[in-house]
Chain A
Amino acid sequence: MKRNRIQRGIAALIAAMTLHMLTPAPAHAWAAPVAMTASTDTLIFKNGNVLEGTIVSETGTHVRFKGELHGIAFETEYPKADILEIKRGTGQAAGQAATDTKVVDPSSYLTPPPAPVIDDGRDKIYWIDLTGKFGEEITQTPLRNALKDAKNQRADVIIVMVDNKVVDDEEIRGNEELEKLYAQFDELFRAEKIMAVVVDEVPAEWQKPPRIIYWVRRALGGIAFMPLTSKEVYFHPEGKLGGVGNLNGMRARGHRRVVEKQISLRRGHAVGWVNQSGFPQPEMLVRALTQEDFVLSLKIEGGRPVLFEGYPSNPGEELLTDDGMEGNADTIDQAARGEGNDVLTLDHRLAKLLGISKGTAETRDELLSLLGYRTDQIVKSRSEAIMRDWVRGFEAGKTQARRLWEEFGEVQVQGDYDQRRQARSTQIQKIEQIKSIFKRYAESFEWRWLARYGFPIDGEGGPGIAQLTEIQDRIRTQQLLDRR
């Protein structure tokens, strides 16, 4: 219902803009550039754009700037990260030098200079907590920044604790359209962008790559594959890994051959990531994790665990997943608790039995003890602050984006020429601010949230920044068409 209302709203907005676009424009609407005076400030952007006007305010990371563009007044905040150079006119704030200022990328503030490294011959351990909602809070940029910090700290070992929050699907249940869309949302492909930071970037950027150790408390959904890329995994006694969906569910949604292609390529991707760990039977493991009709059992041969397809034939073998058919189907309660066996969910016992987990630890100290380390080997890091700042920034960005979008929708373009021009300038400014938020946190915005509030969505399910720019273009065109 809400979705339909939003869609109607967008359609109405576009229709309104289109009507305006068809109005002839006066030739004089081609606004000449604002004459540059000695008191004019100039922002030179990295993308080549140059804006002239007045700096209203300035922080360490942003510049609030007002000026006029194509005859439209605007006041907008720009991240300094996007700015190459600030030229200050004579109207600058007292005490500021009238010289060019090279803007420092704010991300450089995230990583302090390497702390003095005391080399006592013992391994230095860097600790990272991956907690929160996968894809939003657990995402590549803060992880990448934490790993940069680890590199600066010359860490020998990186311990990643995984404890993700499971997405609450209550809001989409029962809504056929949303369920269908959700079913197409492959968390594995989202996880690939995060896993690549560890699997690809660390070996490429570190002269001596560190040991990467995962400690699993909860790795359910796409993030389940992350620990499975590592040769060193430990579990919490209540740890769970799995919940990577049911690939077979796709079979109800199309031609069998096409669906099998989709399942096959997904399995191919998943197996590839598990291959990174050197696990000897990656395909068996992935089939059991992802396909509910796959029957998998375990036996021990020569003291080593061996997976095989089919039901156990003697008491020494253990059934891991059944075929999920009829009486074998998990109950809702079992599925909700992650205790079913239609698909595989690893707990500390199974993970150890399969040779995936090297041990079980309830606390950090216990884990360090298992690894033969002491607590004082953990280096003082900024990883917690990096993760926390990301989450806070993102949450604030969401709130701000919603507010700006609402305000944008409320702007009435009416009155005399100057009032209409001012209103359009406000619209453009609001969208510019939304774009700035989206660019900074693009990877964390999820299509469902965007759809809920009526934001445009790009082809990959992220914020539709290009579409927002198109809306700005249309508003500028409306201004061109407007007559006094």
Chain B
Amino acid sequence: MKKFTRMLGTLGIVFAMALGVGVCSSDALAIDRIVLKDGSVIEGTIVREAQGAVWIKTTIGGVPAERMYLPSEFTSIERNAATAPAEATRPATGGDVPVVPAVPAVTTPAAPRSGVPRGVVITLGDREHGDMVGVYMVANILERAIPVIEQEIGTDGTGVVVLRFMSGGGYGAEVQKISDVIHNEYKKRWRTVGWIDSAISAAAMSAHCLEEIYFTTRGNYGACTGFYGSLDKPVEGFELEKSLHQMEKISARGGYDYRIMRSMQIMDPLSATIDANGEVHYFADTVSGDIIVNRNTEILTFNAVSAAKVKFSRGTADTLDELSKAMGFQEIQWVGKTVKGSLWPISRAEQMQMDFRKKVKTDEDNLNRYYANYAIHVQLAAGAPREERPPLVNRARQGLEQIKSMVRNNPAFARNIWGGREEYKEWLEEQEKLLRDLMR
């Protein structure tokens, strides 16, 4: 018993986040398959349908269960799927392969108009679900969207990807990863621009490799000072120098004077002069330039007006039409479904981002429950006679599967909770062994 408790305790962290859909095992008799929007596939027997909702008998962790899904929760139903090849839709179960969200179901794309470039808007963070860098804004989901975007706007170099930023910052550890995906993958394939609604701290640092940045009227960008969660704990010393150096390199990617980001990180003054050719020259004080960009004792955050004044922003746009014009397009085909209340069409790649954040939000809200469910049943099994353990271990396994599903959806959880991918794997192996031991 002590051993099990100790092994559970090795997690050694407070779960303050959450999860969503458990991975369902295949039933030998399964003939129907429901592909959920988050990519999970539920196999079993459909027993009822009403108003578009379906009820399916399946097994979860070896326990028979009946589940109901609303039409808004699944992308497709495969009936009598046992006779059809299954691999294409089967969720990956390996620890390294992300399974959710899957690429949303293919809809017939609008026919490309000859000679007209196509574009998509991809959101990074939203008000409803979350915006934290390293939790809701992660490199991994941007990377997974690449083949979908390729399918939607082509690979001939004429496509446009608008990255709409809405984030108050987050984990600095994610900045380099996001910057790398944008710089090494997106920018090489498409004209990639930033559309800043709010990019604070790590979000601004993530966007800073973009040469072409537009603001919304209320946009803000900056305040990149690193700190460790508390107002009295700034990033200092070697770590600070490393961060400043990192951002100098990322500034070069975006073609920005390194002093701009520096003033966003530390209290360096900054002024600027625009010469007769329209070139902007920066000075690390408040007196050499004509325009004071950052005061002596402050940290820089741009707004739409101040960013445009020193040409950091290429323009201000609140609608897609205004953005298209600011980008110089006479005509551009924005790909995706028109959705009421959305200022841009929702492409499949964008739907992926939205689904991802929705699941992460569910994960954050429920992680404590999943972990508690796991831990309690391990403890119960450990205290029960051998013959009474199987159902308890099955319950524990369900909890563990939920945690695994969470990390598959968003590998950043492994870093944020366990301290790293390896640490997570190690913990997982311990738990798997523990469950096996309980069944001996």
Task: Kindly list chain A residues whose C-beta atoms are within 8 Å of the C-beta of B223.
Answer: 261-262, 264-265, 268
Task: Tell me, rounded to whole Å, the shortest Cβ–Cβ distance linking B359 to chain A.
Answer: 14
Closest Cβ neighbor of A267 among chain B residues: B301
Return the chain B residue nearest A282 by Cβ.
Answer: B305
A273 on interface, CB distance cutoff 8 Å: yes
Interface string of B377-391 (1 = CB under 8 A from A): 001100110011001
A171 interface hit (Cβ, 8 Å): no
Known: A253-B231, A264-B300. A283 touches B306 (CB 8 A): yes
Cβ of A296 to closest chain B Cβ, rounded Å: 15
Residue with the highest number of chain A CB atoms closer than 10 Å, among B201, B218, B232, B343: B218
CA gap between A480 and B381 in the complex, in Å: 13
How far does the alpha carbon of A371 sit from the alpha carbon of B171 in the complex, in Å?
A: 50
Contact across chains for A262 and B231 when beta carbons are under 8 A apart: yes
Partner of A272, one of B70, B218, B392: B218
A83-118 vs B, CB cutoff 8 Å, 1 = contact: the mask equals 011000000000000001010000000000000000
> A46, A203, A271, A282: which has the most chain B beta carbons within 10 Å?
A271
Which chain A residue shows the least CB distance to B232? A254
Is A352 an interface residue, CB under 8 A from the partner?
no
Q: Known: A24-B384, A271-B220. Is A48-B69 also a contact (CB below 8 A)?
A: yes
Residue of A at shortest CB range from B217?
A275
**CB nearest to A49 among chain B residues:** B68
Across-interface contacts of A204 in B (CB, < 8 A): 340-343
For window 412-438 of A, CB contacts with B under 8 Å fall at none
Closest partner residue, chain A, to B5 (CB atom)? A22
Is B372 an interface residue when CB atoms closer than 8 A count as contact? yes
The answer to whether the Cβ of B440 comes within 8 Å of any Cβ in the partner chain is no
**For the complex, what is the distance from the CA of A477 to the CA of B303, rounded to whole Å?**
52
Given known pairs A30-B391, A196-B127, A261-B299, the reply for A85 and B51 (CB within 8 Å) is yes
Are A466 and B297 closer than 8 Å at their CB atoms?
A: no
Known: A254-B230, A466-B366. A268 touches B372 (CB 8 A): no
Interface flag for A396 (CB, 8 Å): no
B116 at the interface (CB under 8 A from A): no
**Interface contact A257-B299, CB-CB below 8 Å:** yes
Determine how close the nearest CB of chain A comes to the CB of B199; give it in whole angstroms.
10
Question: In the complex where A85-B50, A254-B230 touch, is A48 in contact with B218 (Cβ < 8 A)?
Answer: no
**A168 to B190 Cα, complex, angstroms:** 54
Q: Is B266 an interface residue (CB 8 A)?
A: yes
Chain A 450-474 interface 0/1 with B at a Cβ cutoff of 8 Å (1 = within): 0000000001000000110110011
With CB as the reference atom, state the residue of chain A lying closest to B55: A50
Q: How far is the CA of A50 from the CA of B57 in the complex (A)?
A: 13
Q: Is B376 in contact with chain A by the CB < 8 A criterion? A: yes
Whole-angstrom CA separation of A467 from B301 in the bound complex: 36
**Counting CB contacts under 8 A, is B423 at the interface?**
no
- Which of B50, B51, B217, B231 is within 8 Å of A255, CB to CB? B231
A residues 22-51 touching B (CB-CB < 8 Å) = 22, 24-27, 30, 44, 46, 48, 50
B436 to chain A, nearest CB (A): 19
Is A259 an interface position by the 8 A CB rule? yes
Q: How far is the CB of B123 from chain A (nearest CB, A)?
A: 13
Evaluate contact between B369 and A24: CB separation under 8 angstroms: no
Do A205 and B70 touch across chains, with their CB atoms under 8 A apart? Answer: no
User: Is B157 an interface residue when CB atoms closer than 8 A count as contact?
Assistant: no
A72 at the interface (CB under 8 A from B): no
In the complex, chain A residues whose CB is within 8 Å of the CB of B218: 199, 269, 272-273, 275-276
| Bound: A164/B289 CA distance, A | 44
Q: Which one of A50, A205, A276, A283 contacts B341 once the chains associate, using CB atoms below 8 Å?
A: A205
Give the distance in Å from the alpha carbon of A100 to the alpha carbon of B230 in the complex: 54
CB distance from A184 to the nearest CB of B (A): 9
Specify which of A22, A258, A282 is in contact with B233 (CB 8 Å cutoff): A258
How many inter-chain residue pairs (CB < 8 Å) link A and B? 156
Q: Does A179 contact B (CB under 8 A)?
A: no
Question: Is B225 positioned at the interface, with any CB of A under 8 Å from its CB?
Answer: yes
> In the complex, what distance in Å separates the CA atom of A227 from the CA atom of B70?
41
A480 contact set on B, CB distance < 8 A: 380
Minimum distance in angstroms from B218 CB to a CB of chain A: 3
Contacts of B302 in A (CB 8 A): 268
Mark interface residues in B271-315 (1 if CB within 8 Å of A CB, else 0): 000000000000000000000000001111111111000000000
8 Å CB contacts to A: which residues of B331-371? 340-343, 365-366, 368-369
Query: Of residues 116 to 161 in B, which have CB atoms within 8 Å of A's CB atoms?
Result: 127
B252 within 8 A of A: no
How far is the CB of B309 from the nearest CB of chain A, in Å?
11
B227 touches A255 (CB 8 A): yes
List, in ascending order, chain B residues with CB within 8 A of A264's CB: 222-223, 298-301
**B303–A261 CB distance below 8 A:** no
Question: Interface on chain A toward B: helix, strand, loop, or mixed SS?
Answer: helix
Interface residue from B16, B73, B217 paired with A276 (Cβ < 8 Å): B217
Which of these, A24, A199, A260, A470, contacts B372 with CB under 8 Å? A470
Chain B residues whose CB sits within 8 angstroms of the CB of A205 once the complex forms: 340-341
CB nearest to A33 among chain B residues: B66
Q: Is the beta-carbon distance between B267 and A27 smaller than 8 angstroms?
A: no
In the assembled complex, the CB of B374 is this many whole angstroms from the nearest CB of chain A, namely 12
Residues of A within 8 A of B388 (CB): 26-27
Q: Which residue of A is nearest B218, CB measured?
A: A272
Q: Contact at A473–B369, with CB atoms within 8 Å? A: yes
In the complex, A161 Cα to B217 Cα: how many Å? 24
Interface centre among B67, B221, B305, B391 (most CB of A within 10 A): B305
User: Which residues of chain B (207-237) have a CB below 8 Å from chain A?
Assistant: 216-225, 227, 230-234
Q: How far is the CA of A474 from the CA of B372 in the complex (A)?
A: 9
Does B163 lie at the interface of the complex (its beta carbon under 8 Å from any beta carbon of A)? Answer: no
A258-B305 in contact given A193-B127, A264-B298, A272-B219 (Cβ < 8 Å): no
Task: Verify B303–A100 contact, CB threshold 8 A.
Answer: no
Q: Assess A258 versus B222: contact at CB under 8 Å? Given A22-B379, A24-B380, A459-B16.
A: no
Cβ-closest chain B residue relative to A199: B218
A102 contacts B69, C-beta separation under 8 Å: no
The answer to the question of A250 belonging to the interface, with a C-beta cut-off of 8 Å to chain B, is yes
Residue among A250, A258, A474, A477 with max Cβ neighbours from chain B (10 Å): A258
Do A48 and B298 have beta carbons less than 8 Å apart?
no
- Asked if A201 is at the interface of the complex by the 8 Å CB criterion, the answer is yes
Indicate if B409 sits at the interface (CB-CB under 8 A).
no
- Measured between beta carbons, the chain A residues less than 8 angstroms from B267 are 256-257, 260
Given the known inter-chain contacts A272-B219, A459-B16, please indicate yes or no for A265 contacting B341, CB distance below 8 A.
no
Q: In the complex, are the beta carbons of B225 and A44 less than 8 A apart?
A: no
Q: How many Å from the CB of B167 to the closest CB on chain A? A: 11
Docked pose: A282 CA to B232 CA in angstroms: 30
Chain B residue nearest to A472 in the complex (CB)? B369
By a CB distance below 8 angstroms, the chain A residues around B231 are: 250, 253-255, 258-259, 262
* Structural contact, A257 and B391, CB atoms closer than 8 A: no
Q: Contacts A255-B232, A470-B372 hold; do A48 and B70 have CB atoms under 8 A apart?
A: yes
Q: List 30 A-B contacts (CB under 8 A).
A: A24-B384, A27-B387, A48-B69, A84-B53, A85-B51, A203-B318, A203-B319, A204-B342, A205-B340, A205-B341, A254-B231, A254-B232, A255-B227, A257-B267, A258-B232, A258-B233, A261-B299, A264-B223, A264-B298, A265-B168, A265-B200, A268-B222, A272-B198, A275-B217, A276-B218, A282-B305, A283-B305, A466-B365, A467-B368, A469-B369
Q: Please name 14 further chain A to chain B contacts, defined as beta carbons within 8 Å, in addition to the given A275-B304, A466-B368, sorted by A numbering.
A: A27-B391, A48-B73, A50-B66, A199-B218, A205-B340, A254-B230, A264-B298, A265-B200, A268-B200, A271-B220, A271-B303, A272-B217, A272-B303, A470-B368
Interface residues of A, Cβ cutoff 8 Å to B: 21-22, 24-27, 30, 44, 46, 48, 50, 84-85, 100, 102, 193, 196, 199, 201, 203-205, 250, 253-265, 267-269, 271-273, 275-276, 282-283, 459, 466-467, 469-470, 473-474, 477, 480-481
**B interface, CB within 8 angstroms of A:** 16, 18, 50-51, 53, 66-70, 73, 127, 168, 198, 200-201, 216-225, 227, 230-234, 266-267, 297-306, 318-319, 340-343, 365-366, 368-369, 372-373, 376, 379-380, 383-384, 387-388, 391-392
Task: List the 6 closest pairs (A to B, CB-CB), nearest first.
Answer: A254-B231, A272-B218, A268-B220, A268-B301, A27-B388, A261-B225
